[in-house]
């Protein structure tokens, strides 16, 4: 059985194709939409892995609202050889969260281009980035084979056009993803750019000669592909481009632009009116980096800020956010507001928990102001893809939008201004790529 797998930054999906019909597979039975799985991994203290909605549920139930308790823990002995002293044995200790029930990982795909992130310690076990991704892929493969009732014989995996604008980091990302897939024990596989897969999905039912531009805007990257379909249905990729801008980055724009005031931004400390250390609020730029503030040296600074700061309510909310693991709920609230802004002119970002209570209304125009530089960079990416294909906007027959972020009105308006609203067509934003990968998997051209 040949399968197409879209392992995305935010969501993942898989499908098979029988020559006439695409069938989406149920990767996440716990999710409200079983054919869409959040690309999350939770590893319990005992080492048990969970993926998708179950991963988020395990993290939320065990961590949110739980105050972190640190203790010094003995790690072992290390021999040190020192000049004029000789060899001595030194005991190693570390400060650890004594009661953490597990670790949650999101957006692992984004870290492929981060050469500084090689791995992490999870309750005494070292996991490389490739191993973390391999765990997710292995469990996905098991779910696919359980649903199909037979082994998967080959796969086509989606990949961004560019993981990074730096060619070296782009190549590193591809190498790491290949290693992860091999470590997961996947059957023979090939990679296919995600927007090319989306174009294949469209081309399966298209009629007549057309020039297609695919605008694939997901959680981690924006990818553009320009493809020509001839009268016989043959497909020819004319140009591609991509930038590392996605929905996760847009969430961060909202947090840093609209939410920081509720966690102490602008506070001054003590009689000398010293500014709150910027490093604290900088860590709110991602929910994963909020966890880094739980280190004792940061917690001490936060506690002191609460004691002597002139915004005790907001600073106490910061302490609660950090100490009681509310980073993920904060980012989920922000993402929910971002999604609502695609249909409504304004949306609230709100939290109501012991120690954190606020509601901030975000106007769509203000959100568009915050993401202005990203819109310009995305527009430039589209222009480069067109130039690489040797075409102009007038030459494009249809613009296919896929990926959750492709629904954001500001980007839809940018495309409408460039190509004309009548050329825009929305695919299934979460599973369109998986459908195309399944079509590719069934084609001898893409089989390994």
> What would the pLDDT profile of 325-374 be if each residue is shown by its tens digit?
899 999 999 999 999 999 999 999 999 999 999 999 999 999 999 999 99
Tens-digit pLDDT profile for residues 6-61 = 999 889 999 999 988 999 999 999 888 999 999 999 999 899 999 999 999 988 88
- Whether the predicted pLDDT of 76 surpasses 60: no
Is the pLDDT higher at 215 or at 62? Answer: 215
Q: Is 272 helix (H, G, I), strand (E, B) or coil?
A: coil
Tens-digit pLDDT profile for residues 202-258 = 887 777 889 999 999 988 889 998 989 887 767 788 998 989 899 999 999 999 999
In this prediction, residue 93 has a pLDDT band, given cuts at 50, 70 and 90, of very low
Q: Is 405 helix (H, G, I), strand (E, B) or coil?
A: helix
Please state, as a whole number, how many other Cβ atoms lie within 10 Å of the Cβ of residue 163.
24
In this prediction, residue 96 has a pLDDT band, given cuts at 50, 70 and 90, of very low
Find the range with the poorest average confidence among 124-138, 247-261, 406-420, 424-438.
424-438
% of the chain beyond a pLDDT of 90: 67
User: How high is the pLDDT of residue 164?
Assistant: 85
Q: What is the CA radius of gyration of the chain?
A: 24
User: How high is the pLDDT of residue 99?
Assistant: 59
The mean pLDDT value of the chain amounts to 89
% of the chain beyond a pLDDT of 70: 92
Find the range with the poorest average confidence among 68-82, 112-126, 171-185, 391-405.
68-82
Reference 257, options 234, 241, 281; nearest CA is 281
Q: Is 203 helix (H, G, I), strand (E, B) or coil?
A: helix
Residue linked to tokens 């459908």: 435
Return phi, psi of residue 134, to 5°. -60, -40
In this prediction, residue 124 has a pLDDT band, given cuts at 50, 70 and 90, of confident
Please state, as a whole number, how many other Cβ atoms lie within 10 Å of the Cβ of residue 19.
7
Residue linked to tokens 């609502």: 340
Domain residue ranges of the chain, discontinuous segments joined by +:
67-100
Q: Is 128 helix (H, G, I), strand (E, B) or coil?
A: strand
User: How high is the pLDDT of residue 92?
Assistant: 45
User: How high is the pLDDT of residue 95?
Assistant: 46
Alpha helices in 184-311 (DSSP H): 194-203, 247-254, 278-282, 287-290, 296-308
86: left (phi over 0), alpha (psi -120 to 50) or beta: left
- The string of DSSP letters for 384-395 reads HHHHHHT--GGG
- Return the bridge partners of 96, or none: 71
The secondary structure of residue 309, as a DSSP letter, is: B
Instruction: Give the contacts of 59 (CB within 8 A, at least 6 positions apart).
Output: 42, 102, 104, 328
**Overall average pLDDT of the 112-131 stretch:** 89
Instruction: Give the contacts of 154 (CB within 8 A, at least 6 positions apart).
Output: 2, 3, 187, 188, 189, 441, 447, 448
Prediction pTM value: 0.83
In this prediction, residue 94 has a pLDDT band, given cuts at 50, 70 and 90, of very low
User: How high is the pLDDT of residue 206?
Assistant: 75
In this prediction, residue 88 has a pLDDT band, given cuts at 50, 70 and 90, of low
- Whether the predicted pLDDT of 278 surpasses 90: yes
Using CA atoms, how far apart are residues 249 and 220, in angstroms rounded to an integer?
Answer: 7
User: How high is the pLDDT of residue 215?
Assistant: 95
Tens-digit pLDDT profile for residues 152-209 = 999 999 998 888 888 999 999 999 999 999 999 999 999 998 888 888 888 877 778 8
């Amino acid at each position: 059985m040949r399968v197409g797998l879209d392992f995305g930054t935010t969501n993942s999906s898989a499908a098979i194709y029988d020559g006439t019909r695409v069938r989406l597979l149920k990767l996440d039975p716990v999710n409200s939409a079983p054919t869409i799985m959040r690309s999350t991994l939770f590893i319990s203290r005992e080492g048990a892995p969970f993926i998708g909605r179950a991963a988020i549920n395990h993290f939320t139930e065990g961590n949110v609202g739980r105050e972190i308790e640190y203790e010094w823990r003995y790690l072992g002995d290390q021999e040190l050889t020192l000049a004029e002293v000789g060899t001595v044995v030194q005991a190693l200790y570390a400060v650890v969260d004594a009661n953490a029930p597990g670790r949650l990982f999101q957006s692992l795909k984004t870290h492929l281009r981060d050469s500084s992130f090689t791995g992490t310690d999870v309750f005494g076990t070292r996991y490389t980035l490739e191993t973390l991704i391999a765990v997710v892929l292995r469990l996905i493969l098991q779910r696919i084979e359980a649903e199909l009732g037979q082994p998967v014989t080959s796969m086509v995996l989606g990949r961004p056009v560019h993981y990074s604008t730096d060619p070296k980091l782009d190549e590193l990302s591809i190498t790491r993803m290949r290693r992860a897939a091999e470590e997961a024990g996947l059957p023979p596989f090939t990679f296919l750019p995600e927007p090319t897969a989306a174009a294949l999905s469209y081309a399966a039912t298209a009629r007549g000669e057309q020039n297609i531009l695919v605008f694939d805007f997901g959680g981690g990257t924006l990818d553009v592909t320009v493809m020509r379909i001839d009268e016989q249905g043959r497909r020819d990729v004319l140009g591609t481009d991509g930038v590392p801008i996605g929905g996760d980055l847009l969430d961060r724009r909202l947090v840093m632009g609209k939410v920081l005031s509720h966690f102490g931004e602008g506070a001054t400390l003590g009689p000398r009116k010293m500014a709150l250390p910027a490093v604290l609020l900088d860590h709110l730029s991602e929910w994963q980096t909020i966890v880094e503030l739980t280190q004792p040296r940061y917690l001490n600074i936060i506690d002191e800020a609460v004691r002597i700061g002139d915004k005790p309510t907001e600073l106490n909310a910061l302490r609660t956010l950090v100490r009681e693991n509310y980073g993920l709920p904060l980012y989920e609230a922000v993402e929910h507001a971002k999604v609502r802004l695609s249909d409504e002119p304004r949306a609230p970002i709100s939290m109501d928990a012991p120690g954190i209570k606020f509601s901030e209304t975000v106007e769509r125009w203000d959100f568009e102001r915050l993401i202005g530089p990203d819109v310009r960079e995305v527009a430039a990416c589209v222009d480069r893809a067109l130039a690489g294909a040797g075409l102009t906007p007038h030459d494009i027959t249809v613009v296919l939008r896929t990926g959750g972020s492709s629904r954001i009105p500001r980007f839809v308006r940018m495309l409408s201004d460039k190509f004309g609203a009548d050329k825009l067509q929305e695919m299934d934003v979460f599973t369109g790529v998986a459908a195309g990968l399944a079509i590719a998997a069934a084609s001898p051209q893409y089989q390994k």
